[in-house]
Structure 1
Amino acid sequence: MTFTSNPLKVISALFVILISTSTFAQQDFQGKAYYQTKTSMDMSDFGGRQMSEQQKKQIQERMKGFLEKKYTLTFTQTESMYKEEDKLEAPGTGGGGRGFGMMSSFSGGDQYKNIKDKQILEDQEFFGKQFLVKDSLSNLDWEMGTETRQIGQYMCFKATAVKKVDEFDWTNMRRPGGREDEKKTDSTATADKSKDSIAEIEIPKEIIVTAWYTPQIPVNNGPGEYWGLPGLILEVSAGKTVILCTKIVLNPAEKEEIKKPSKGKEVTRAEYNKIVKEKMEEMSEMYGGRGGRGGGGRGN
């Protein structure tokens, strides 16, 4: 973790941290932060010439549920639970073909973090099977800047890091031969490119992450997998996804118990990715080049 220049701002930030830490240390507090996420996706090259603009527009509408989500982060000094808010699908927007079924299978479930034990657990259902993905928290090498910004009533500081991208992170997917600026980024394909639209998706190996955190809430936590800064992370820009905190409630009247998830077959992230890859290859062989191109059509 490194600081950029401008010592006056750094000293000011440390002063805010000391005051806030002293205040929060006096009580066994709990907080709840509400986030909304939005992932941008360029559909201009999707489906190639075989798909009309009208079809692309229809797919974008159907994908809106995957691209825009709402979450709650319930947190203490050492633990947190990150959950997607339940919502009803509009008629005709669910399912929608093999591509959408596969995409929904990449959507993560409830995510538990223990900052003290450096542990992360995630409920994950994949093609009807329940998994408990268990791993150590990966710590980003944050470069802490002095740039400040107000988010709601909280003063926030900027931090940046380079993050390795999970090979099945659909939010950063793109098609080969896309924009010029994307061609310059080293990338890897998730499966055999020659078969269908799912197999032709590429994921970049690394992305730049920009986070805004507030020392006024001195917890070493944030939305999703993000953590490791001296204050709650209120906003994250990572690749094509923006995560923004819209509301914070500290010490609610009714506190919510944070329970470790325990259901499902326990696997590491690497083991889970291997299971997903094998299933994708199986689906690719089963459907050949037919699926994904003609009818319709991947998660958070």
Structure 2
Amino acid sequence: MKSQLFKMFMMCLCLSFSFTALAQADFQGKAYYESKTTAEMPDFGGRQMSEEQKKRIEARMKSMLEKTYILSFNRSESIYKEEEKLDAPSSSGGRGFRGMDLTPGPQYKNIKTNQVIVDQEFFGKQFLIKDSLPKLVWKMENESKQIGQYTCFKATAVKLDDQTDITSFRGPRRPEDEKADDTPKEPKEITITAWYTPQIPVNQGPGDYWGLPGLILEVNTDRTTILCSKIILNATEDTEIKVPTKGKEVTQEEYTKIVTKKMAELRENFSGRGPGGGGRR
């Protein structure tokens, strides 16, 4: 009973902060997030690749999948994009394997118009993905915790896994997997755990996540953890939120088909290589 009363008190306290912030007509801010994703690599390369080679690739993937993002937001809009850094030049040019870019492009969300726009590069081609905001049915949980100076509350939702997620690319098929791989696989359900704070009264969050009564500061899925490390509210400089405009316009469904087809082609190409790395003849 004491625990419930305490949580109700904290919620009221957070809401009082929210109303104060809402009174500011120019309410805006920036949130910095650290994102870490674990790639599924156990079968990558099959028997054609040594354990040492696999470990090198895993280390390289780990580096590419640890990113810092900035979410710039106001009452109704946000833009989520990777923080620009001056990295040392590498043979991969900061990209994935042979053109596979593992970094999501700038993502614009508009709560009022229910629209999401993503500027995404894939194998040297620029796409402008336009669609409705992905909807998640959030369940409010009876838990709270502190993230920095903000009191956060837990919410969970269930979604289907991302069919355009290149981190699940497994490389060539082994002979014993041929039959299994030809069988269509149903997308698996993923449980999402989010922590949001009503002290920052916007329905925004990192990536595809939004729709809670406060800014989402942490997200955990099956392979990805996103954690807010810094927040700047109502800075003297206006927060710039630019709507992406470049690229071939497609829906999310159309883009998913393009990526799925390309990944299937890559797998076939890998399957045709022998131990010496030659192609199919």
Gaps of 5+ in 2: none
Relative to 1, partners in 2 of residues 1:42 and 1:36: Cα closer, same or farther, differing over 3 Å? same
Partner letter of residue 289 of structure 1? S
Where does 1:170-181 land on structure 2 (aligned, <5 Å)? 170-171=166-167, 173=168
Query: Which one is further off, 112-121 or 87-96?
Result: 87-96
**Is 2:127 aligned against 1:145?**
no
**Is 2:77 aligned against 1:85?**
no
**Is 2:136 aligned against 1:154?**
no
Where does 1:92-111 land on structure 2 (aligned, <5 Å)? 92=90, 94=92, 100-104=97-101, 107-111=103-107
Partner letter of residue 97 of structure 2? F
Partner letter of residue 31 of structure 1? G
Q: Which residue of 2 aligns with 1:136?
A: 132
Q: Which residue of 2 aligns with 1:63?
A: 61
User: What is the CA deviation profile of residues 239-265 of structure 1, one whole-angstrom value per residue up to 9, with x for unaligned ones?
Assistant: 110000000000111113212111112
Of 271, 288, 295, 2:254 maps to 271
Residue 163 (structure 1) shift: 1.3
CA contact (8 A) 1:16 1:215 kept: no
User: Percent of counterpart pairs with the same letter?
Assistant: 58
Q: Which residue of 1 aligns with 2:190?
A: 207
**Alignment partner of 1:255: what SS?**
coil
C-alpha distance in 2 between matches for 1:291 and 1:87: 36
TM-score, normalised on structure 2? 0.83
Aligned length: 268
**Is 2:15 aligned against 1:18?**
yes
CA contact (8 A) 2:120 2:126 kept: yes
C-alpha distance in 2 between matches for 1:152 and 1:102: 38
**Alignment partner of 2:61: what SS?**
helix
CA RMSD, 1 decimal = 3.2
Residue 236 (structure 1) shift: 0.4
Relative to 1, partners in 2 of residues 1:125 and 1:94: Cα closer, same or farther, differing over 3 Å? same
Q: Which residue of 2 aligns with 1:180?
A: none
Relative to 1, partners in 2 of residues 1:203 and 1:64: Cα closer, same or farther, differing over 3 Å? farther
Q: Which residue of 2 aligns with 1:39?
A: 37
Relative to 1, partners in 2 of residues 1:71 and 1:293: Cα closer, same or farther, differing over 3 Å? farther
User: What is the CA deviation profile of residues 248-295 of structure 1, one whole-angstrom value per residue up to 9, with x for unaligned ones?
Assistant: 00011111321211111211000111222333444455x362459876
Query: Which one is further off, 25-34 or 203-212?
Result: 203-212
CA contact (8 A) 2:32 2:71 kept: yes
Residue 166 (structure 1) shift: 2.1
C-alpha distance in 1 between matches for 2:146 and 2:84: 29
**Alignment partner of 1:11: what SS?**
helix
Residue 170 (structure 1) shift: 3.1
C-alpha distance in 2 between matches for 1:18 and 1:241: 30
C-alpha distance in 2 between matches for 1:89 and 1:203: 39
CA contact (8 A) 1:215 1:230 kept: yes
Q: Which residue of 1 aligns with 2:225?
A: 242
CA contact (8 A) 2:40 2:170 kept: no
Q: Which residue of 1 aligns with 2:243?
A: 260
Return structure 1 stretches of 4+ with deviation > 6 angstroms.
Answer: 292-295
**Alignment partner of 2:271: what SS?**
coil
TM-score, normalised on structure 1? 0.78
Residue 230 (structure 1) shift: 0.7
